[in-house]
Structure formats: structure tokens, C-alpha cells
């Protein structure tokens, strides 16, 4: 197994999970804030 490829795969997974979390927080924030606007 190529260590560099493994490192990039882990990095991509971290970035994707962080992006998904940010999107979920943004969606929940919109759903919570829209009724008050």
C-alpha cells in the first residue's frame, strides 16, 4: 500500500466529513432561523 495515497485518502475523508458537518449545521441553522425572520 502506498503511504502517500493512504494519507491523501484519510485527508480527503476528514475534509469531506468536515464539509458534510458544516452543511448539516448550515441546514439546521436555516431551518431554525427562517421561522424567526
Please report the pLDDT score of residue 37 as a whole number. 58
CA 29 – CA 5 distance, rounded (Å): 36
CA 22 – CA 28 distance, rounded (Å): 10
Query: Following DSSP, what letter does each residue of 5-18 receive, concatenated?
Result: HHHHHHHHHHHHHH
3 state SS of 2: coil
Taking the whole predicted model, whether its pTM rises above 0.75 is answered as: no
| pLDDT in single tens digits along all 37 residues of the chain | 678 888 898 999 899 898 898 999 888 888 877 766 5
Amino acid at each position: 500500500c502506498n503511504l502517500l495515497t493512504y494519507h491523501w485518502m484519510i485527508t480527503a475523508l476528514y475534509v469531506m466529513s468536515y464539509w458534510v458537518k458544516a452543511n448539516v449545521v448550515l441546514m439546521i441553522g436555516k431551518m431554525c432561523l427562517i421561522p424567526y425572520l
